[in-house]
Amino acid sequence: MNLTEVLKLECCSTSLKSKDKLGVLEELVKLAKRNEVLAKVKEKEVLAGLLQREGQGSTGFGHGIAIPHCQISGIQDFVVALGVSHKGVDYGAIDHKKVKIFVVIVGPLESRSGHLQLLATVSRILKEPELEYNLLQQETRIGLLDEFLRHCPESQKVTKKGKDKLILLIVRDPEIMDEISEVFIEYGVEEATILDTSSMKGILSNVPLFLGFFDFTGDRDVFGKLIIVKLPREYIHALVQGLEDAFGDLDNYTGLSMIALDIFYSKGL
């Protein structure tokens, strides 16, 4: 089982808020549901599976770490979510200490061997010296994901997986730039180029032939911003998820649109 393929960036969080076991499991289920594998599965079904497993004994195995896991019917692949609680959660761990690192595994009911294999891989990674400390130091989802997968047996595949994509964000409402910046910071996007833009209507407004055809009163489409950023292909879906958390479905939102392009050639930093 390749952990690098089932743990998605959008299913990582550096800021779990819940203080008790039920609350953090509900929060982790919402995190896992970001994976499209669980798109048709209800949150309560996943939560019920996790609670049933907890009823057999706490998955908090000590040292501030827990691996809640379950198997459910109706899915074809595994889902893994990774969350950090800096204050810790009273989870009923076997050493009675608060849990700060959570890795959730949700697997197909029909794949017992795969589930056990994935559980063993995660457990082995979490036993790495200083890993808990290093995970708690991460401030972005990308940093958290990279630090965790760095210890994965397939870690060499992560750096080779796919090519970078050129992302164009067309911002028609400059007032949302602060919110976009917050999403970028949350997901660890630190390098981007931002250009001022004007629409074709803005250019035509200066041509005498077209005077009177355009009324720009209150029109936010005349001037805007273009954000250009290069991202690994596997991070694109996570960025879209973050933007839609902030603005709703981009297909129904007029203030922002996004295009991802293949990079034919790239050289230089």
For the segment 19-36, what is each residue's pLDDT rounded down to a tens digit?
A: 999 999 999 999 999 999
Q: For 78, phi and psi rounded to 5 degrees?
A: -90, 155
Bridge partners of residue 227, in order along the sequence: 169, 194
Q: Which two tokens stand for residue 57?
A: 């004994």
Nearest to 3 by CA among 139, 147, 158: 158
**Sign of torsion, CA 244 85 12 169?**
positive
pLDDT value for 157: 44
Q: Which domains does the chain have, with CATH numbers?
A: 3-159 (3.40.930.10), 164-262 (3.30.70.120)
pLDDT at 179: 94
Using the structure block, give the residue that is written with the tokens 């994976």: 35
- Strands (DSSP E) contained in the chain are 7-13, 60-62, 65-66, 69-72, 79-89, 99-108, 164-171, 193-198, 223-232, 256-262
Per-residue pLDDT tens over the stretch 92-136: 999 999 999 999 999 999 999 999 999 999 999 999 888 999 999
pLDDT at 43: 96
Residue 267's alpha-carbon distances to 101, 107, 163, 264, in angstroms, are 38, 41, 13, 11
Residue ranges of the chain with per-residue pLDDT less than 70: 1, 154-162, 199-222, 269
